[in-house]
A and B are shown apart, each in its own frame.
Chain A
Amino acid sequence: MKVLYFPGCSLKNYAPAYEKSALHVAKKLGIELIELKRWNCCGVVYGLASDSVFHQIAAVRNLIRAQEQIHESGNEKLVTLCSMCYQVLASANHRLSKDPAALETLNKFMDEEEDYLGTIEVMHFVQLLRDYIGFEKIKEYVERPLKDIRVAPYYGCMLVRPKEVAIDDPEEPSILETLIESLGGVPVESPFRTECCGSYNVVVNKDVVKTRVFRIVRPLLRNSADLIITVCPLCAFNLDYGMKLASRDLHGRKIPVIYFTELMAYAFGLDNALEKETLNIFNNLMK
């Protein structure tokens, strides 16, 4: 299966491990992720003003790029790895489907591009795995079951909110837990798994992130989590940085934060898809 793929601005230089492991895992599952040509930053936060379309220009420009390239994949899906990207693109899509005046304004403004017709389907990679491959099928590819490693899923906000674009229940999601189980791991009870990590406040108000991450991570330490998996580079950065900021309150304890595709890559036996450090962490846990 071929799918158009939208990387997101931070993936190439901040989270190359995420992309590398995702591409390898996708290949193993028979999915070819075709990177979109000439893509731009999606805007990261969705512009919430109902009276303006200015902040949706970025998202729609990318949807138009996808529309221009659907012949490459043969379908109208656009897959992202970052949940901020997912939320922005999906919300823009949703808004334009409900607000034809906004769509018309945008199309008129972007007169150098073809008109956006509103038919692209935006998906997050984990959603693609659940809906088009299925976790039962994923079990078949596991060559190295995780031997009961305790994995805490961290959803963050953007995959499960707002309701219009959520891929799972906003209060009690289970998609990552099911994934962990299918890989042979043990999902750890994480009461704050959908609580916001603090998002952009890390740039202006570090205390907000410190307090948030402390609250999220403390019960995971109590529940003896070995790893935290995330679906978004910003969450990964905030969790990691937040644990550093809160290290005194956490008594110096830390839990490694990895991307869910890295977990999958390890379970699939794709060692060359992983960074050396990550591989070492896994190997140590499996002893």
Chain B
Amino acid sequence: MTVQATVEKVPKLKMVRIYIMGREYLVPEGLTILKAMEYAGYRMIRGVGCRAGFCGACSTVYRLKDDYRLYTALACQTTVQDGMYLVQLPFVPAKKPRYDIEKLKPDFSTILMHFPEVTRCVQCNTCTKVCPQEVEVMDAIQAILRGDIETAAHLTFDCIACGICSMRCPAEIVHYHVFQMVRRLYGKYIAKKSKHLEERIKEIEEGKFREEMDRLVRAGPEEWKKLYAQREIEPD
């Protein structure tokens, strides 16, 4: 008696040809550049981070088939394409500025003192065009030039400091350092203070919750389990 075993046909993976640091590899279509590099056998120790498009570590420069242009992107957020020719930037070696936020004033003269090169912006808009997070980089720099710290802070909320803009800027501005200072100035000096936070901190420092905390800490696992089961749950 013969048993006919039916084997389900495994769908054949569609492969694409990509070039990593000049070497050719066949990788499955649909992988991100990062995953494709690992598929090809690379063990990533630089140029990789959160893998979720938020840390700015995996800046990549590449070109596509039949296209002369150079593109930039984050490796963890971009899928491979057939004919992609790519190289990675391990990091952008910009000098980290040192300053004491307590001693700074939230206006343009502070920026001018620390980053006078923002005055060289010619508004070529290259920074905005290469930003992987779609931040309006040029508009933010121009807002800073006008002294409008608040607008710049809001415009640059999504900046992940990948440094691609700074690599291409003809005026040699290191955008993400300027933006970081601007956001810090905004948060510290301009944004509205949350009164309830200040009040709560005061209450804690005055020891209002000391007794309750001590009791809880001493209560032990049985008590904790009971309290957890009985906790107040907010209605949906």
A touches B in complex, CB < 8 A: yes
CA distance A220 to B155 in the complex (A): 47
Chain A, 19-39, CB within 8 A of any chain B CB: 38-39
CA distance A98 to B145 in the complex (A): 31
Asked if A112 meets B129 with Cβ closer than 8 Å, knowing A12-B147, A13-B147, the reply is yes
Min CB distance, B151 to chain A, in Å? 10
Does A128 reach chain B (CB closer than 8 Å)? no
Does B29 reach chain A (CB closer than 8 Å)? no
Enumerate chain A residues within 8 angstroms of B148, measured Cβ to Cβ: 12
Q: How large is the interface on B (under 10, 10 to 19, 20 to 34, 35 or more residues)?
A: 10 to 19
Enumerate chain A residues within 8 angstroms of B129, measured Cβ to Cβ: 112
Enumerate chain B residues within 8 angstroms of A12, measured Cβ to Cβ: 146-148
Give 28 A-B contacts (CB < 8 Å), ordered by A residue. Answer: A9-B145, A9-B146, A9-B147, A12-B146, A12-B148, A13-B107, A13-B108, A13-B146, A13-B147, A38-B139, A40-B138, A40-B142, A41-B121, A41-B123, A41-B142, A41-B145, A41-B146, A54-B122, A54-B124, A55-B122, A57-B122, A57-B123, A58-B122, A61-B123, A110-B125, A112-B125, A112-B128, A112-B129
List 8 A-B pairs, minimum CB-CB distance, nearest first: A13-B147, A40-B142, A58-B123, A40-B123, A41-B145, A9-B145, A13-B108, A61-B123
**Additional pairs, 9, CB under 8 Å, beyond known A12-B147, A41-B146:** A9-B145, A9-B147, A39-B142, A41-B142, A54-B124, A55-B122, A57-B123, A61-B123, A110-B125
Tell me the nearest residue of chain A to B147, going by C-beta.
A13
Total count of chain A residues near the partner, CB < 8 A: 15
Report how many A-B pairs have Cβ atoms within 8 Å. 37
Does A184 reach chain B (CB closer than 8 Å)? no
CA distance A110 to B129 in the complex (A): 11
CA distance A55 to B147 in the complex (A): 22
Chain A, 93-123, CB within 8 A of any chain B CB: 110, 112
Say whether chain A's binding surface is mostly helix, strand, loop, or mixed. Answer: loop
CA distance A9 to B112 in the complex (A): 13
| Residue from A13, A43, A57 having most chain B Cβ neighbours under 10 A | A13
| Residue from A9, A39, A41, A112 having most chain B Cβ neighbours under 10 A | A41
Min CB distance, B137 to chain A, in Å? 12
- Residue-wise, chain B 125-168 has the 8 Å CB interface mask toward A (1 for contact) of 10011000000001100100111100000000000000000000
Enumerate chain B residues within 8 angstroms of A13, measured Cβ to Cβ: 107-108, 146-147
Enumerate chain A residues within 8 angstroms of B142, measured Cβ to Cβ: 39-41
Min CB distance, B89 to chain A, in Å? 24
CA distance A112 to B122 in the complex (A): 16
